[in-house]
Amino acid sequence: MGISKIIPQGTLTVGEVEALEQHDKFDSTYVILEFSGDVITFVLEHTDGRAVGLHCDHDSGEWDAVAKGDDVDVVLKETADWLDDDMDRAIDEL
């Protein structure tokens, strides 16, 4: 099942991200980037220990996996690093 079957297209509120923890497949969520109540980037930890860093694409509204792994701490760092790089790219395009 792809992530689009679980997470609707477009940004989510902090409450909607936290509600994912109620799903029987997920343990935890970690908000990385929130703007005006909308979550743009977060990490979702699966009950089996796997984690995925997700970022909502500004243009399409689709959630892209930007980091994956078996160690949530590593995925958190890789997601934050990806976000830093993405912000640098956006600034360079100005």
Which DSSP string corresponds to 6-55? Answer: TS-SS-EEHHHHHHGGGSTTEEEEEEEEEETTEEEEEEEEETTS-EEEEE
How is residue 59 annotated by DSSP? Answer: T
Given a cut of 70, is residue 89 above it in pLDDT?
A: yes
Question: If you average pLDDT over every residue of the chain, what do you get?
Answer: 91
Domain ranges in the chain? 3-92
Average pLDDT over residues 34-58: 94
Q: Global pTM?
A: 0.89
pLDDT in tens, 15-32: 999 998 888 889 999 999
Under the banding of pLDDT at 50, 70 and 90, the label for residue 52 is: very high
Q: What is the pLDDT of residue 1?
A: 45
Q: What is the pLDDT of residue 23?
A: 87
